Amino acid sequence: MLKTALLSASLAVAGYACSAWLTHDFQVWTAEGARRLEVALQPVAAPSVQIDGPGLATQALSQLLSDGQSVTLVDFVYTRCQTVCLALGSVYQQMQTTLQAARKTDVSARQVRLLSISFDGQRDNPRILQAYAARLSADQLLWRFVRVPDLKETQRLLADFQVIVVPDGRGDFEHNAALLVVNQHGQLVRIFDYAEQQLALDYARDLANASSLR
């Protein structure tokens, strides 16, 4: 019986250690929670995948995102999307309006940009992205749209930023939509839920402000 008690006790310790590791000390239970926590603890550099989009020359994503001045709020979309991307679109429209108003008085607001990346690079060519941007009345200087034409590179970008895209069997995609804050050096530093748009925007402006003061 002593052996049984000993074994059970060590099993309990092992089980505790295992679940503590899985849940980052019981802070997160889902892969999405773990992703957000991991990014906050350890920023992820944007990969140097080639992108293009309306009004943009073909260049590396890392180059576009690390101009040393602007903080970028990134989201992942596909233009045919009827569900979560619509919500994201209106979140972005509201953030654009807020930023446009703040730009007149606040320097830091001028250094926050919006970027929508299409993960359906085969279909969403620059012409389609242009039409999509027009539909959302995006301000070209503030809110840009890009795609990654190469399928392999798309996969790499999605893997680096831990974006999971699932075909839903009806020709659409389900994906873990969120607001990704990328700093001036092209590093993904924080991920916010798209319901937390104000928080994400404030965080981005704060990040821009901190660097412009320096």
Partner 1 sequence: MKLAQSWLKWHLAIAGLALCLLALPGARLFLEASMTRHMLVQFPLLALIGFWFAGALPRNWMRRLNLWNGYGISGLFASALLLAILMIPRVLDLALVDGRIELVKWLALLLCGAGVRLSWQPAGLLVQGFFLGNVLPMMVVVGYLFESSPVRLCNAYLLDDQERLGQNLIWVAATIGLAWFAILVRAMMRREAATALPTPSEDDPSTAK
Binding site for partner 1 (CB under 8 A): 1, 3-4, 7-8, 11-12, 14-15, 18-19, 22-23, 28-35, 164, 166, 168, 174, 176
Give the residue with the Cβ less far from partner 1, 37 or 56: 37
Distances (CA, A) of 67 to 43, 71, 103, 134, 199: 17, 9, 19, 25, 23
Within 42-106, residue ranges assigned H as helices are: 61-65, 84-103
Least separation in angstroms between residue 171's CB and partner 1 is 14
CA distance 82 to 16: 42
> Please, what is the minimum distance in Å from the beta carbon of residue 95 to partner 1?
21
The smaller minimum CB distance to partner 1, of residues 31 and 101, is found at 31
- Nearest approach in angstroms of CB 114 to partner 1 is 23
Q: Which of 94, 86, 108, 101 minimizes the C-alpha distance to 202?
A: 108
Secondary structure of residue 48 in the 3-state scheme: coil
Question: What is d(CA 138, CA 98) in angstroms, rounded to the nearest whole number?
Answer: 13
Min. distance of Cβ 18 from partner 1 in angstroms?
6
Q: Which is nearer to partner 1, 31 or 199 (CB)?
A: 31
Cβ proximity to partner 1: between 35 and 147 the closer is 35
| Token representation of residue 32 | 């999405």
Amino acid occupying residue 81: C
- Compute the least distance from the CB of residue 53 to partner 1, in Å: 26
Residue 34 or 56: which CB sits closer to partner 1?
34
In three-state secondary structure terms, 8 is helix
